[in-house]
């Protein structure tokens, strides 16, 4: 039997087809699902490797409860009922005692659209924490300030020029769906430009590979823009109609007439300093190459696509401006919403309205949305340990879901400190299919299913169209086809492995068994009031009522919408969405209008009900409560963009009004690792790149992938190696950060810019000898971890090694080196605007000292605290800069948006 589901090994959510053996009802393999509009039957290596994960002999099969001290490695098996009752009772008490802010659910990559957020809303808790500020907040900020959507949807397949500040042919955000479209475009003659300090696999395919000094990308982007402006090749009509140039002039040139010509005059001078020579000086790439590349870009017209997500944006102070200057190129060319251009993600995404929509919570969580960062794109998740240490709050119940904070974040040892401390974190619950560095410290470890064992829906912007994907427990669907009735995913999953959605419903029910807290209603069946909602009803209702075209399509095949999705796994809602900003607002929405001098149109008509819940900016109503409905362009009211002005915001009134007027237009912020900031013996450590066959700590238990890649040497240029007396590849080096050091093998290669060293993410997994599963898996070293006062020391005792298990392949592990966990040696670097952790480190690289072993780590927590304080001193807190007495601009997105009264700053 072929049963579709969705890969959960990265956020691309490609379609998979499980091959289920009819004789014994086991999954034999996974291949691509040709019915999936995003991935179109193709996968990367990590998709089919899902089979390794579900058959992993070391996976957790039963709920576990800690018996000894936290982290002591002593566990007992408990029943789901015991775990649920104990956790629900504490949460019920916290909610009844108005301690809502002591409940937090910390989510890594969500892999779904909105289910978990709604669960927290149903509890009335502002407890959503995400990993996004260590992932992509800087990239998102650049998009959001321009267009009110925080992600790009580039139409690579139809582009003439593709400009990547990422490595999308091998990894990256929506990697496989984008890589296949970039490949198509190249077959049709498109030119590929890649800005990557390191020779990635993607760079090897580029027509122009530029290896810039990290953080100089804005200077390059602006030189390209300056070239387009000075040669008059910008799309004049587009700029005139769709940029908020009037606001720019009014705020910055009050003396000038508010005419487009006056703006063009200004535009010609704003970026005049960004000559190719200046960009060359900043980036280290010669001016002639930059000029040649800029000419290719200027020629692309409206077929210019690009991508910036992590990479330079996530790595450098002010990295969000790298995205902002990149979009400036598209905005100058008018390549927004065009074939081969760039779309705001919300147009190419469809999030169906669910059966119940609880209101947003009435509390504000200061631990995730502190006053210092009014413009942060997402939760200041990576500062949580420092905040708890300085007494800003405590947590009663803390969940992690697809999240390994000790490993994933900078300064993981501070995470160990607070997660080990029951005063700071009362009960720590890890939802995970496998052990990880954080789960070792938990009170409960609860086994959740992999991509073929759980339900989710998701819709991701991967081309100019909208699709909805359905992840499902494949054995459930298979056995239902054979006539069985399955009401709980545990009936088909291995051991007592559950799935999160059923678990959240059950937990919520037990928090409020009689419905008196108002929580239960959001987890109740509509068909059978008083009974618990089932996942069949949840998704059945959604597919029947909220997905345009799906019921009709299903009916053609004689299926219910739910049966259709269980059979096909995905549905394409629309294709060729086009430039939504140009759509004319219908007359019936245009009544009692207020039109501002800049053309912003407000109406007093009600908003028509929308079935698409894809998150976008929420511009504020006018003084009389009329809602913004569009923008008057040459006498026609069009939808425009979900920004305050309704236009593309070249000048951001939000940045200007909230304390950062000098950053209101796209500009160049010099990185914290700019050469001016480095001591003569310091280099830049580039710690942000991915290995094609690994996903963070998630694929560490997939044997095919582990064999392909299991270590992370330090890339070092031959000229640097000679200077530092590193003679051979494989020699050990010490990399010293501001708070400690790590020891790793060197890899001498010309694939990295001189003056920069690089070490990949994913590797250096570890456990101590007392943790469960010691010696198991092909990716995990056994270490000693000691703390003396403020100083931590980690030493590798053993690497990976063969071992007996139910799988004979575990005896065939031939490698022992599993790399180094560099993140432990990084202090936190919060960007004062986006809130992004700026990943790059200024380091000193030296030959290893006698006694050093690969994988060794030393960290001084006092120093890490000091660096935290230094970066916090650069913030401009809401209490000082807010123009309206609120904590945060209300139009900016926030995963859970608490009620308006919580935005008000109260004097303390």
Ligand X SMILES: Nc1nc2c(c(=O)[nH]1)N[C@H]1C(S)=C(S)[C@@H](COP(=O)(O)OP(=O)(O)OC[C@H]3O[C@@H](n4cnc5c(=O)[nH]c(N)nc54)[C@H](O)[C@@H]3O)O[C@H]1N2
The footprint of ligand SF4 (CB under 6 A) covers 7, 9-10, 12-14, 39, 43-44, 46-47, 175-176
Q: Which residue has the tokens 């890594």?
A: 108
The CB-side HSE value for 110 (13 A sphere, CA atoms) comes to 19
Output 134 or 416, the one with its CB closest to ligand X.
134
Output 198 or 698, the one with its CB closest to ligand SF4.
698
Q: What distance in Å separates the CA atoms of residue 290 and residue 272, rounded to the nearest whole number?
A: 16
**DSSP H or E stretch at residue 479:** helix 474-481
Q: What distance in Å separates the CA atoms of residue 210 and residue 196, rounded to the nearest whole number?
A: 6
Count of beta carbons in the 10 Å neighbourhood of residue 265: 12
Candidate ranges 44-52, 127-135, 347-355, 516-524; the one touching Mo ion (CB under 5 A):
127-135
For position 895 contacting ligand X by CB under 6 A, the verdict is: no
Pair of tokens at residue 281: 């000086």
Instruction: Provide the 3-class DSSP secondary structure of residue 189.
Output: coil
Q: What distance in Å separates the CA atoms of residue 311 and residue 291, rounded to the nearest whole number?
A: 23
CB of 210 to ligand X, least distance (A): 8
Output 10 or 161, the one with its CB closest to ligand SF4.
10
Bridge partners of 782, per DSSP, are 767, 798
Closest CB to Mo ion: residue number: 135
Per partner kind, with CB cut-offs from 5 to 8 A, the member of ligand X, ligand SF4, Mo ion, none near residue 176 is: ligand SF4
Q: 611-642 b/e with 16+ CB inside 10 Å = b?
A: ebbbbbbbbeebeeebbbbbbbbeeebbbbbb
Q: What distance in Å separates the CA atoms of residue 758 and residue 834, rounded to the nearest whole number?
A: 24
Per partner kind, with CB cut-offs from 5 to 8 A, the member of Mo ion, ligand X, ligand SF4, none near residue 403 is: ligand X
Candidate ranges 518-526, 648-656, 685-693, 723-731; the one touching ligand X (CB under 6 A):
685-693
For position 698 contacting ligand X by CB under 6 A, the verdict is: yes
CB 109 within 8 A of CB 10: yes
Output 570 or 716, the one with its CB closest to ligand SF4.
570
For position 448 contacting ligand X by CB under 6 A, the verdict is: yes
DSSP state of 164: E
Q: Which of 310, 380, 314, 412 is nearest to 822 (CA)?
A: 412
CB 407 within 8 A of CB 785: no
Candidate ranges 508-516, 609-617, 692-700, 787-795; the one touching ligand X (CB under 6 A):
692-700
**DSSP H or E stretch at residue 863:** helix 861-872
Per partner kind, with CB cut-offs from 5 to 8 A, the member of ligand SF4, Mo ion, ligand X, none near residue 332 is: none
Beta strands (DSSP E) in 639-789 are 683-686, 714-716, 732-736, 740-748, 756-758, 765-768, 780-788
Bridge partners of 104, per DSSP, are 398
The site that binds ligand X (CB under 6 A) totals a number of residues, namely 60
Pair of tokens at residue 279: 């960009």
Q: What character string, x for contact with ligand X (CB under 6 A) and - otherwise, covers 645-684?
A: ----------------------------------------
Output 176 or 365, the one with its CB closest to ligand SF4.
176
Output 134 or 733, the one with its CB closest to ligand X.
134
CB 480 within 8 A of CB 540: no
CB contact set of 187 (below 8 Å; sequence gap of 6+) = none
Per partner kind, with CB cut-offs from 5 to 8 A, the member of ligand SF4, ligand X, Mo ion, none near residue 499 is: none
Separation of CA 864 from chain center:
25
Q: Which of 110, 106, 107 is nearest to 10 (CA)?
A: 110
**Options 311, 489, 652, 902; binder of ligand X; rule CB under 6 A:** 311
Per partner kind, with CB cut-offs from 5 to 8 A, the member of ligand X, Mo ion, ligand SF4, none near residue 472 is: none
Rule CB under 6 A: which of 748-787 touch ligand X? Answer: 761
Q: What character string, x for contact with ligand X (CB under 6 A) and - otherwise, covers 339-378?
A: ----------------------------------------
For position 135 contacting Mo ion by CB under 5 A, the verdict is: yes
Q: 705 phi and psi, to 5 degrees?
A: -70, -40
Output 402 or 629, the one with its CB closest to ligand X.
402
Per partner kind, with CB cut-offs from 5 to 8 A, the member of ligand SF4, ligand X, Mo ion, none near residue 7 is: ligand SF4
Output 436 or 489, the one with its CB closest to ligand X.
436
CB of 166 to ligand X, least distance (A): 3
Output 217 or 649, the one with its CB closest to ligand X.
217
120, with CB counted inside 10 A (0-12, 13-18, 19+), is buried
Q: What distance in Å separates the CA atoms of residue 150 and residue 115, rounded to the nearest whole number?
A: 20
Instruction: Provide the 3-class DSSP secondary structure of residue 308.
Output: strand
Q: Which of 530, 519, 642 is nearest to 146 (CA)?
A: 642
For position 217 contacting ligand X by CB under 6 A, the verdict is: yes
Candidate ranges 86-94, 127-135, 153-161, 248-256; the one touching ligand X (CB under 6 A):
127-135
CB 116 within 8 A of CB 364: no
Per partner kind, with CB cut-offs from 5 to 8 A, the member of Mo ion, ligand X, ligand SF4, none near residue 298 is: none
Output 170 or 720, the one with its CB closest to Mo ion.
170
CB of 810 to ligand SF4, least distance (A): 23
Per partner kind, with CB cut-offs from 5 to 8 A, the member of ligand SF4, ligand X, Mo ion, none near residue 108 is: ligand X
Q: What distance in Å separates the CA atoms of residue 754 and residue 624, rounded to the nearest whole number?
A: 59
Q: Which of 44, 351, 34 is nearest to 174 (CA)?
A: 44
Per partner kind, with CB cut-offs from 5 to 8 A, the member of ligand SF4, ligand X, Mo ion, none near residue 692 is: ligand X
**Options 5, 6, 7, 10; binder of ligand X; rule CB under 6 A:** 10
Q: What distance in Å separates the CA atoms of residue 401 and residue 414, rounded to the nearest whole number?
A: 19
CB of 198 to ligand X, least distance (A): 4
Instruction: Provide the 3-class DSSP secondary structure of residue 300.
Output: coil
Instruction: Provide the 3-class DSSP secondary structure of residue 345.
Output: helix
Closest CB to ligand X: residue number: 108
Candidate ranges 134-142, 236-244, 772-780, 826-834; the one touching Mo ion (CB under 5 A):
134-142
Rule CB under 6 A: which of 137-176 touch ligand X? Answer: 165-167, 171-173, 175
**Options 144, 365, 694, 712; binder of ligand X; rule CB under 6 A:** 694
Bridge partners of 191, per DSSP, are 161
Candidate ranges 190-198, 228-236, 627-635, 724-732; the one touching ligand X (CB under 6 A):
190-198
Instruction: Provide the 3-class DSSP secondary structure of residue 595.
Output: strand
The most distant pair of C-alpha atoms in the chain lies apart, rounded to whole Å, by 81
For position 732 contacting Mo ion by CB under 5 A, the verdict is: no
Output 448 or 878, the one with its CB closest to ligand X.
448
For position 105 contacting ligand X by CB under 6 A, the verdict is: no
Q: What distance in Å separates the CA atoms of residue 100 and residue 507, rounded to the nearest whole number?
A: 16
For position 305 contacting ligand X by CB under 6 A, the verdict is: no
Output 460 or 509, the one with its CB closest to Mo ion.
460
Bridge partners of 454, per DSSP, are none
**Options 88, 601, 695, 763; binder of ligand X; rule CB under 6 A:** 695
CB of 177 to ligand SF4, least distance (A): 7
Q: Which residues bind ligand X (CB under 6 A)?
A: 8, 10-11, 108-109, 131, 134-136, 165-167, 171-173, 175, 195-198, 200, 212, 214-215, 217, 309-312, 314-316, 401-404, 408, 431-434, 436, 448, 450, 500, 686-690, 692, 694-698, 761, 822-823, 839
Q: Which residues bind Mo ion (CB under 5 A)?
A: 135
């Amino acid at each position: 039997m072929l049963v579709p589901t969705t890969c959960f090994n990265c956020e691309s959510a490609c379609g998979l087809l499980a091959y289920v053996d009819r004789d014994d009802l086991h999954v034999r393999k996974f291949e691509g699902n040709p019915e999936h509009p995003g991935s179109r039957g193709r996968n990367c290596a990590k998709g089919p490797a899902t089979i390794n994960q579900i058959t992993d002999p070391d996976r957790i099969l039963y709920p576990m409860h800690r018996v000894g001290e936290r982290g002591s490695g002593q566990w007992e098996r408990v029943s789901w009922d015991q775990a649920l009752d104990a956790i629900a009772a504490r949460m019920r008490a916290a909610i009844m005692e108005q301690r809502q802010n002591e409940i937090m659910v910390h989510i890594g990559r969500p892999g779904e659209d909105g289910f978990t957020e709604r669960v927290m809303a149903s509890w009335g808790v502002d407890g959503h924490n995400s990993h996004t500020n260590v992932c992509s907040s800087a990239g998102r900020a650049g998009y959001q300030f321009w267009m009110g959507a925080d992600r790009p949807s580039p139409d690579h397949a139809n582009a003439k020029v593709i400009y990547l500040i990422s490595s999308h042919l091998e990894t990256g955000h929506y990697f496989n769906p984008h890589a296949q479209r970039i490949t198509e475009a190249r077959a049709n003659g498109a030119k590929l430009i890649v800005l990557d300090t390191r020779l990635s696999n993607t760079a090897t395919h580029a027509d122009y590979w530029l290896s810039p000094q990290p953080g100089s990308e804005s200077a390059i982007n602006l030189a390209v823009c300056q070239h387009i402006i000075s040669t008059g090749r910008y799309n004049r009509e587009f700029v005139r109609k769709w940029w908020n140039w009037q606001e720019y002039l009014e705020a910055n040139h009050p003396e000038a007439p508010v005419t487009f010509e006056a703006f063009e005059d200004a535009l010609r001078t704003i970026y005049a300093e960004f000559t190719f020579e200046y960009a060359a000086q900043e980036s280290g790439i010669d001016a002639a190459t930059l000029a040649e590349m800029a000419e290719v870009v200027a020629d692309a017209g409206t077929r210019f696509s690009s991508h910036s997500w992590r990479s330079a944006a996530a790595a450098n102070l002010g990295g969000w401006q790298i995205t902002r200057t990149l979009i400036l190129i598209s905005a100058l060319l008018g390549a927004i919403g065009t074939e081969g251009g760039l779309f705001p993600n919300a147009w190419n995404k469809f999030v169906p309205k669910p059966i119940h929509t609880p209101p947003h919570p009435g509390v504000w969580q200061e631990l995730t949305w502190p006053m210092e960062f009014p413009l942060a794109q997402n939760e200041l998740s990576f500062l949580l340990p420092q905040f708890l240490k300085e007494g800003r709050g405590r947590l009663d119940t803390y969940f992690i879901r697809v999240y390994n904070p000790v490993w994933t974040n900078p300064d993981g040892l501070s995470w160990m400190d607070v997660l080990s401390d029951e005063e700071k974190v009362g009960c720590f619950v890890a939802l995970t299919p496998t052990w990880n560095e954080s789960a070792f410290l938990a009170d409960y470890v609860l086994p959740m299913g992999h991509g073929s064992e759980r339900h989710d829906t998701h819709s991701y912007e991967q081309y100019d169209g909208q699709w909805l994907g359905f992840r499902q427990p494949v054995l459930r669907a298979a056995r239902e086809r054979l006539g069985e009735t399955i009401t709980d995913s545990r009936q088909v999953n291995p051991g007592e492995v559950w799935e999160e959605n059923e678990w959240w419903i059950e937990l919520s029910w037990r928090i409020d068994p009689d419905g008196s807290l108002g929580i239960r209603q959001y987890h109740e069946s509509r068909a059978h009031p008083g009974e618990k909602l089932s996942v069949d009803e949840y998704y059945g209702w959604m597919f029947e009522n909220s997905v345009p075209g799906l019921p009709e399509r299903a009916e053609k095949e004689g299926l219910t919408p739910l049966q259709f999705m269980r059979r096909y796994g995905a549905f394409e809602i629309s294709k060729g969405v086009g430039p939504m900003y140009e759509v004319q607002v219908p007359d019936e929405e245009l009544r009692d209008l207020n039109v501002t001098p800049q053309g912003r149109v407000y109406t007093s008509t009600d908003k028509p009900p929308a079935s698409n819940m894809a998150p976008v900016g929420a511009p504020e109503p006018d003084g009389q409560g009329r809602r913004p409905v569009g923008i008057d362009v040459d006498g026609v009211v069009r939808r425009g963009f979900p920004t305050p002005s309704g236009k593309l915001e070249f000048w951001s009134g939000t940045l200007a009004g909230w304390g950062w007027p000098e950053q209101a237009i796209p500009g160049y912020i010099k990185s914290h690792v700019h050469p001016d900031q480095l001591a003569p013996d310091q280099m830049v450590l580039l710690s942000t790149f991915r290995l094609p066959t690994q996903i963070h700590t998630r694929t560490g238990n997939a044997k095919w992938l582990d064999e392909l890649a299991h270590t992370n040497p330090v890339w070092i240029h031959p000229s640097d190696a000679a200077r530092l007396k590193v003679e051979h590849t494989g020699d050990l080096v010490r990399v010293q950060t501001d708070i400690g050091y790590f020891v790793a093998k060197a890899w001498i290669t010309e694939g990295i810019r001189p003056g920069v060293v690089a070490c990949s993410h994913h590797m250096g997994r570890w456990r101590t000898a007392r943790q469960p599963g010691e010696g198991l898996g092909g990716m995990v070293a056994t270490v000693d971890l000691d703390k003396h006062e403020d100083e931590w020391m980690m030493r590798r005792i053993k690497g990976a090694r063969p071992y007996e298990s139910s799988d004979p392949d575990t005896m065939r592990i031939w490698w022992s080196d599993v790399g180094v966990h560099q993140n432990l040696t990084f202090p936190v670097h919060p960007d004062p605007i986006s809130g992004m952790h700026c990943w790059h480190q200024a380091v000193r690289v030296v030959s290893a000292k006698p006694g050093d072993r690969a994988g060794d780590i030393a960290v001084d927590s006092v120093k890490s605290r000091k660096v935290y304080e230094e970066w916090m001193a650069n913030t401009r807190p809401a209490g000082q800069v807010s123009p309206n007495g609120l904590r945060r601009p209300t139009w900016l997105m926030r995963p859970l948006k608490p009620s308006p009264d919580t935005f008000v700053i109260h004097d303390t």
